[in-house]
Amino acid sequence: MNGLQTAIVEKIYKNHTADIKYRTISMRQTNVRIAGQVYWNLQVRDLALVGFLDDNNADPIIIDKLMNFDHKLIEDSEVDDIHLRHIVTKDTGNKNVDGSPILETTGEIEFHTDKDGNLTINLSGKVGNMALNLSGDEGKLAINSKGNIALETEANLTAKVAGKVSIQAEKEVSVEAAGKVMVESADIVVVTGAKGVELGDNLKKELVCNLKVCIVTGAPHNIGNTKVTV
């Protein structure tokens, strides 16, 4: 072997060494040294980059961490699932009993897919602030799915758009709220129905006009408006 090799980390020791299995050849090496800060982010099942001091095969050293994924990707001829994970940590300033720094996980990105085609993407952070930024004058974000799309939050949901908003549905559209529903406009509000506009469970199904009484009969127009205030 020469140059750089990739290997799966099988075991990590406190003396900053690890047992590894190379990807391109059926060979394992034990007690391989881990370079500098790489040790603190390295995990079992990581895909690591291995170099050799002075091109000596007997003196390998792990010089970087590439990714983390399920060991089956290497062991099996067929990929059952793939697990990629990247963890961001920071030094807390405290020490373990062996003198190594105590690290705190501040963020994590995880991708997982299985043999059935299910894909899960998990984003987690200590603070919880996450942003998806698109650069460019005509950046476009498209979400396409042949199945259902669910957007859920335990807090508030805000959408702020500088241009127009268009919602098109080939079937029914439903808006439900446990509290009030408010529609405000700086201009007129137009509600158009090809077969009419109904006022739900209001006894009167349409509004006559904004006059309180009929100018012809003198009858009050609000009769039947049990759920609508004009």
* Residues 223, 220: Cα–Cα separation, whole Å: 6
Q: How far apart are CA 33 and CA 16, in angstroms?
A: 6
pLDDT at 124: 80
Measure the CA–CA gap between 67 and 34, rounded to whole angstroms.
16
Q: If 0-12 CB within 10 Å is exposed, 13-18 middle and 19+ buried, where does residue 134 land?
A: exposed
Two tokens at 138? 């005509």
The CATH number of 5-125, from 2.40.128, 3.40.50, 2.40.50, 1.10.10, is 2.40.50
Whole-number Å distance between alpha carbons of 44 and 65: 11
Q: Could you tell me the residue ranges of all domains in the chain? A: 5-125, 195-230
> What b/e readout covers 81-104, taking b as 16+ CB neighbours within 10 angstroms?
ebbebebeeeeeeeeeeeeeeebe
Chunked mean pLDDT (size 10), the chain, 230 residues: 84 91 86 88 87 88 80 44 72 81 81 77 75 71 84 88 90 90 89 78 63 75 63
Closest alpha carbon to 20 in 40, 49, 41: 49
pLDDT at residue 76, rounded to an integer: 42
Q: What is the pLDDT of residue 30?
A: 93
Residue 119 CB contacts under 8 Å (≥ 6 apart), including other chains: 111, 112, 113
Residue 204: CB atoms within 10 Å? 15
pTM summary value: 0.45
